[in-house]
Amino acid sequence: MRRESALTNSTAGVSDVTPEDQLPAPVAEGVARRSAVAEEQAFLDVATARRDRLTSHLEVELSAAALDAMEQARQRMLRQQYDELRRAEEGLVFGRLDSRDGTVRHVGRVGLRDEGDGGEPLLVDWRAPAARPFYTATAGDPQGQARRRHIRTRGSTVVGVDDEPLDGTMTAELVGEGALLAALDQRRTGRMSTAISTLQREQDDIIRAEATGPLIVQGGPGTGKTVVALHRVAYLLFTYRKMADQAVLVLGPSPRFLQYIAQVLPALGETAVVSATCDTLLSGVQVGRDESRPLAEIKGRALWQATLESYVASLLPRPRELKLRWDGEFYVIPAATVAHALASAIQGRPYHRARAAFAEQLHLLLADVVAEQREALMDEMEEGFEDILAGVDRSMAHEHHATGTSTGSEIDGLLSEEEVQHLRSRIAENATIARFVEAWWPTLDAETLLGDLLTDPALLTRFAPQLSPEEITAVSAEPAAWASSDIALLDALAELLGEVDAPQPQGEFVADRARRQRGWVYGHVVVDEAQELSEMQWQMVLRRCPSRSITAVGDIDQAEAAHRHTSWAQAVQAAFGDRWTAAELTICYRTPREVMDLTAPVLKRAGSHNAPPRAVRSSGIVPWELTITPAELASAAVDAVRQLQKRWHGGTVGVIAPADRVAELLAVLSDVPVLTASQAKGLEWDATLLVDPQGIATEPRGWNGLYVALTRCTQELGQLLLTPRP
Q: Which H/E stretch holds residue 297?
A: helix 293-299
Task: Give the torsion through C-alpha atoms of 690, 691, 692, 694, to 10 deg.
Answer: -20
Instruction: Looking at 383-483, list the stretches that DSSP marks H as alpha helix, in order from N- to C-terminal side.
Output: 386-403, 409-412, 417-428, 431-440, 446-454, 457-463, 469-476
Query: Exposed e or buried b for every residue in 355-386, given b needs 16+ CB within 10 A?
Result: bbbbbebbbebbbbbbbeebeeeeeeeeeeee
Pairwise CA distance, residues 349 & 357, whole Å = 9
Question: Going edge to edge, which strands form the sheet with 215-219?
Answer: 273-276, 248-251, 524-528, 550-554, 215-219, 581-585
Q: Which H/E stretch holds residue 551?
A: strand 550-554
Q: Which H/E stretch holds residue 26?
A: helix 25-62
Under DSSP, the state recorded for 14 is B
Contact present, 477 and 523 (Cβ < 8 Å): no
Which residues have a Cβ under 8 Å from the Cβ of 493 and sit 6 or more positions away? 308, 311, 312, 446, 449, 450
Instruction: Looking at 484-632, list the stretches that DSSP marks H as alpha helix, in order from N- to C-terminal side.
Output: 484-497, 510-516, 535-544, 568-576, 593-596, 599-605
Contact present, 726 and 698 (Cβ < 8 Å): no
The 3-state secondary structure of 84-139, one letter per residue: HHHHCCCCCEEEEEEECCCCEEEEECCCEECCCCCCCEEEEECCCHHHHHHHHCCC
CA atoms within 13 A on the CB side of 93: 29
Query: Exposed e or buried b for every residue in 153-173, given b needs 16+ CB within 10 A?
Result: beeeebebbbbbbbeeeeeee
- Which parts are annotated binding residues for ATP? 219-226
Instruction: Decide: helix, strand or coil at residue 65.
Output: coil
Task: Give the torsion through C-alpha atoms of 108, 257, 298, 604, to 10 deg.
Answer: 80
How does strand 145-154 pair with strand 93-99? Answer: antiparallel
β partners of residue 330: 325
Query: Exposed e or buried b for every residue in 314-353, given b needs 16+ CB within 10 A?
Result: eeeeeeeebebebeeeebebeeebbeebbeebbeeebbbb
- Count CB neighbours of 411 within 10 A: 15
Pairwise CA distance, residues 499 & 613, whole Å = 47
- Which parts are annotated binding residues? 219-226
